[in-house]
Structure 1
Protein backbone atom coordinates (compact mmCIF):
# COMPACT_ATOMS: atom_id res chain seq x y z
CA UNK A 1 0.00 0.00 0.00
CA UNK A 2 1.41 3.41 -0.95
CA UNK A 3 2.10 5.98 1.76
CA UNK A 4 -0.79 8.24 0.74
CA UNK A 5 -3.16 5.25 0.93
CA UNK A 6 -1.96 4.56 4.48
CA UNK A 7 -2.62 8.19 5.39
CA UNK A 8 -6.23 7.82 4.24
CA UNK A 9 -6.63 4.63 6.22
CA UNK A 10 -5.18 6.27 9.33
CA UNK A 11 -7.65 9.16 8.98
CA UNK A 12 -10.54 6.74 8.55
CA UNK A 13 -9.52 4.86 11.69
CA UNK A 14 -8.98 8.04 13.68
CA UNK A 15 -12.44 9.29 12.74
CA UNK A 16 -14.10 6.04 13.76
CA UNK A 17 -13.19 5.98 17.44
CA UNK A 18 -16.28 3.96 18.32
CA UNK A 19 -15.79 1.35 15.61
CA UNK A 20 -15.60 -2.27 16.81
CA UNK A 21 -11.99 -2.54 15.63
CA UNK A 22 -10.87 0.49 17.63
CA UNK A 23 -12.63 -0.83 20.71
CA UNK A 24 -10.82 -4.18 20.26
CA UNK A 25 -7.46 -2.43 19.79
CA UNK A 26 -8.00 -0.41 22.97
CA UNK A 27 -8.05 -3.50 25.16
CA UNK A 28 -4.82 -5.48 25.17
CA UNK A 29 -6.42 -8.48 26.88
CA UNK A 30 -8.99 -8.69 24.06
CA UNK A 31 -6.23 -8.56 21.46
CA UNK A 32 -4.36 -11.33 23.28
CA UNK A 33 -7.47 -13.52 23.57
CA UNK A 34 -8.37 -13.00 19.90
CA UNK A 35 -4.79 -13.75 18.88
CA UNK A 36 -4.66 -16.99 20.89
CA UNK A 37 -7.99 -18.13 19.48
CA UNK A 38 -7.01 -17.33 15.89
CA UNK A 39 -3.70 -19.13 16.40
CA UNK A 40 -5.54 -22.21 17.68
CA UNK A 41 -7.86 -22.19 14.67
CA UNK A 42 -5.08 -21.52 12.15
CA UNK A 43 -3.54 -25.01 12.22
CA UNK A 44 -4.65 -26.81 9.02
CA UNK A 45 -5.95 -29.90 10.83
CA UNK A 46 -7.83 -27.87 13.44
CA UNK A 47 -9.37 -25.70 10.73
CA UNK A 48 -10.39 -28.87 8.89
CA UNK A 49 -12.04 -30.16 12.09
CA UNK A 50 -13.94 -26.90 12.52
CA UNK A 51 -15.10 -26.90 8.90
CA UNK A 52 -16.17 -30.53 9.20
CA UNK A 53 -18.11 -29.91 12.40
CA UNK A 54 -19.93 -26.84 11.17
CA UNK A 55 -23.11 -26.53 13.21
CA UNK A 56 -23.26 -30.27 14.00
CA UNK A 57 -22.23 -32.27 17.02
CA UNK A 58 -19.96 -35.24 16.25
CA UNK A 59 -18.26 -37.95 18.24
CA UNK A 60 -14.49 -38.20 18.30
CA UNK A 61 -14.75 -41.37 16.21
CA UNK A 62 -16.85 -39.55 13.57
CA UNK A 63 -14.25 -36.78 13.44
CA UNK A 64 -11.41 -39.32 13.09
CA UNK A 65 -13.20 -41.04 10.20
CA UNK A 66 -14.04 -37.83 8.36
CA UNK A 67 -10.74 -35.99 8.89
CA UNK A 68 -8.57 -39.03 8.25
CA UNK A 69 -5.85 -39.17 10.89
CA UNK A 70 -5.25 -41.10 14.11
CA UNK A 71 -7.48 -40.79 17.15
CA UNK A 72 -4.57 -39.66 19.32
CA UNK A 73 -3.73 -36.87 16.86
CA UNK A 74 -7.37 -35.75 16.65
CA UNK A 75 -7.69 -35.85 20.45
CA UNK A 76 -4.67 -33.56 20.87
CA UNK A 77 -6.11 -31.02 18.44
CA UNK A 78 -9.59 -31.23 19.97
CA UNK A 79 -8.07 -30.54 23.40
CA UNK A 80 -6.40 -27.37 22.11
CA UNK A 81 -9.66 -26.12 20.59
CA UNK A 82 -11.58 -27.03 23.75
CA UNK A 83 -9.04 -25.35 26.04
CA UNK A 84 -9.35 -22.12 24.03
CA UNK A 85 -13.14 -22.24 24.39
CA UNK A 86 -13.69 -22.77 20.67
CA UNK A 87 -15.22 -26.23 21.07
CA UNK A 88 -17.61 -27.57 23.68
CA UNK A 89 -17.82 -31.24 24.56
CA UNK A 90 -20.13 -33.61 26.35
CA UNK A 91 -19.81 -37.25 27.36
CA UNK A 92 -22.46 -39.86 26.74
CA UNK A 93 -21.51 -43.26 28.16
CA UNK A 94 -18.13 -44.04 26.59
CA UNK A 95 -18.35 -41.49 23.76
CA UNK A 96 -17.30 -37.85 23.71
CA UNK A 97 -19.13 -35.43 21.41
CA UNK A 98 -17.81 -32.08 20.20
CA UNK A 99 -19.46 -29.01 18.72
CA UNK A 100 -18.46 -25.44 17.99
CA UNK A 101 -19.30 -23.48 21.12
CA UNK A 102 -20.30 -20.14 19.62
CA UNK A 103 -22.27 -19.49 16.42
CA UNK A 104 -20.07 -16.43 15.77
CA UNK A 105 -17.11 -18.78 15.34
CA UNK A 106 -19.06 -20.51 12.57
CA UNK A 107 -19.62 -17.15 10.88
CA UNK A 108 -15.89 -16.46 11.10
CA UNK A 109 -15.12 -19.83 9.49
CA UNK A 110 -17.69 -19.15 6.75
CA UNK A 111 -16.04 -15.79 6.06
CA UNK A 112 -12.63 -17.45 5.81
CA UNK A 113 -14.07 -19.97 3.35
CA UNK A 114 -15.59 -17.15 1.26
CA UNK A 115 -12.31 -15.23 1.18
CA UNK A 116 -9.72 -18.00 0.87
CA UNK A 117 -11.36 -21.11 -0.60
CA UNK A 118 -11.87 -21.57 -4.32
CA UNK A 119 -15.19 -22.90 -5.47
CA UNK A 120 -15.78 -25.12 -8.48
CA UNK A 121 -18.78 -23.78 -10.36
Structure 2
Protein backbone atom coordinates (compact mmCIF):
# COMPACT_ATOMS: atom_id res chain seq x y z
CA UNK A 1 0.00 0.00 0.00
CA UNK A 2 1.41 3.35 -1.04
CA UNK A 3 1.64 6.02 1.65
CA UNK A 4 0.26 9.41 0.66
CA UNK A 5 2.24 12.61 1.14
CA UNK A 6 0.39 14.88 3.57
CA UNK A 7 3.02 17.61 3.73
CA UNK A 8 1.55 21.08 3.55
CA UNK A 9 3.04 24.41 2.57
CA UNK A 10 3.13 26.31 5.84
CA UNK A 11 3.17 29.64 4.04
CA UNK A 12 -0.18 28.96 2.35
CA UNK A 13 -1.79 31.89 4.19
CA UNK A 14 0.95 34.45 3.87
CA UNK A 15 -1.03 37.68 4.12
CA UNK A 16 -2.75 38.92 7.26
CA UNK A 17 -6.00 39.56 5.37
CA UNK A 18 -5.99 35.95 4.12
CA UNK A 19 -5.51 34.69 7.67
CA UNK A 20 -8.28 36.98 8.97
CA UNK A 21 -10.71 35.86 6.23
CA UNK A 22 -9.92 32.18 6.82
CA UNK A 23 -10.30 32.56 10.58
CA UNK A 24 -13.68 34.35 10.29
CA UNK A 25 -15.01 31.78 7.85
CA UNK A 26 -13.85 28.80 9.91
CA UNK A 27 -15.33 30.32 13.06
CA UNK A 28 -18.67 30.84 11.31
CA UNK A 29 -18.90 27.29 9.97
CA UNK A 30 -17.46 25.58 13.05
CA UNK A 31 -20.80 25.38 14.86
CA UNK A 32 -22.26 21.88 14.33
CA UNK A 33 -25.68 23.19 13.29
CA UNK A 34 -24.23 25.66 10.79
CA UNK A 35 -22.02 22.94 9.33
CA UNK A 36 -25.07 20.71 9.00
CA UNK A 37 -26.95 23.52 7.23
CA UNK A 38 -24.08 23.86 4.76
CA UNK A 39 -24.11 20.11 4.15
CA UNK A 40 -27.87 20.23 3.50
CA UNK A 41 -27.42 23.09 1.03
CA UNK A 42 -24.47 21.65 -0.86
CA UNK A 43 -24.58 23.10 -4.36
CA UNK A 44 -28.36 23.62 -4.24
CA UNK A 45 -30.57 26.57 -3.48
CA UNK A 46 -32.92 25.53 -0.66
CA UNK A 47 -35.79 27.33 1.05
CA UNK A 48 -35.85 27.78 4.81
CA UNK A 49 -38.65 25.27 5.43
CA UNK A 50 -36.75 22.52 3.62
CA UNK A 51 -33.63 23.35 5.63
CA UNK A 52 -35.65 23.11 8.85
CA UNK A 53 -37.04 19.71 7.83
CA UNK A 54 -33.60 18.35 6.92
CA UNK A 55 -31.70 19.74 9.91
CA UNK A 56 -34.35 18.95 12.50
CA UNK A 57 -34.63 21.99 14.76
CA UNK A 58 -36.93 24.99 15.06
CA UNK A 59 -37.32 27.55 12.31
CA UNK A 60 -36.27 30.38 14.64
CA UNK A 61 -33.06 28.51 15.51
CA UNK A 62 -32.31 27.83 11.83
CA UNK A 63 -33.03 31.46 10.94
CA UNK A 64 -30.52 32.69 13.53
CA UNK A 65 -27.80 30.45 12.14
CA UNK A 66 -28.66 31.32 8.53
CA UNK A 67 -28.33 35.01 9.43
CA UNK A 68 -24.85 34.41 10.85
CA UNK A 69 -23.75 32.54 7.73
CA UNK A 70 -25.23 35.24 5.49
CA UNK A 71 -23.65 38.07 7.51
CA UNK A 72 -20.23 36.41 7.22
CA UNK A 73 -20.64 36.21 3.44
CA UNK A 74 -20.88 32.41 3.33
CA UNK A 75 -24.49 32.27 2.14
CA UNK A 76 -26.54 34.35 -0.26
CA UNK A 77 -30.30 34.59 -0.11
CA UNK A 78 -33.20 35.62 -2.29
CA UNK A 79 -36.88 36.04 -1.57
CA UNK A 80 -39.57 34.63 -3.84
CA UNK A 81 -43.09 35.52 -2.71
CA UNK A 82 -43.20 34.39 0.92
CA UNK A 83 -40.24 31.99 0.75
CA UNK A 84 -36.57 32.74 1.34
CA UNK A 85 -34.01 30.64 -0.50
CA UNK A 86 -30.38 30.21 0.53
CA UNK A 87 -27.32 28.93 -1.26
CA UNK A 88 -23.58 28.82 -0.63
CA UNK A 89 -22.20 32.00 -2.14
CA UNK A 90 -18.62 30.97 -2.73
CA UNK A 91 -17.54 27.72 -4.39
CA UNK A 92 -14.42 27.62 -2.17
CA UNK A 93 -16.68 26.93 0.82
CA UNK A 94 -18.07 23.87 -0.96
CA UNK A 95 -14.52 22.70 -1.67
CA UNK A 96 -13.67 23.09 2.02
CA UNK A 97 -16.74 21.10 3.11
CA UNK A 98 -15.88 18.40 0.58
CA UNK A 99 -12.35 18.18 1.96
CA UNK A 100 -13.66 18.03 5.53
CA UNK A 101 -15.97 15.18 4.53
CA UNK A 102 -13.05 13.35 2.96
CA UNK A 103 -10.88 13.86 6.04
CA UNK A 104 -13.41 13.31 8.83
CA UNK A 105 -16.03 11.01 7.32
CA UNK A 106 -13.77 8.23 6.04
CA UNK A 107 -11.71 5.73 8.01
CA UNK A 108 -8.45 7.14 9.29
CA UNK A 109 -5.27 6.19 7.49
CA UNK A 110 -2.53 5.13 9.90
CA UNK A 111 0.86 6.67 9.40
User: Where on the TM-score scale, by shorter chain, does this alignment land: which range?
Assistant: 0.7 to 0.9
Structure 1: 4+ residue segments shifted above 4 A: none
Q: Take 1:118 and 1:66, find their aligned partners in 2: how far apart are those partners?
A: 22
Structure 2 unmatched runs, 5+: 1-6
Whose relative contact order is higher, 1 or 2, with alpha carbons under 8 Å and at least 6 apart?
Answer: 2
Q: Take 2:18 and 2:73, find their aligned partners in 1: how far apart are those partners?
A: 14
TM-score under structure 1 length normalisation: 0.77
More helix by share: 1
Q: How far off its partner does 1:32 sit? A: 1.1
Q: How far off its partner does 1:118 sit? A: 3.4
C-alpha RMSD of the superposition: 1.7
The superposition leaves residues 4-34 of structure 1 with CA deviations (integer Å, 9 ceiling, x where unpaired) of xxxxx8xx75xxxxx6x0xx22x21221111
Structure 1 unmatched runs, 5+: 1-8, 14-18
**Alignment counterpart, residue 41 of structure 1, candidates 29, 40, 48:** 29
**Alignment counterpart, residue 81 of structure 1, candidates 57, 64, 69:** 69
Q: Take 2:20 and 2:92, find their aligned partners in 1: how far apart are those partners?
A: 18
TM-score under structure 2 length normalisation: 0.84
Larger Rg: 1
The superposition leaves residues 73-110 of structure 1 with CA deviations (integer Å, 9 ceiling, x where unpaired) of 00000001001110010000111000001112111100
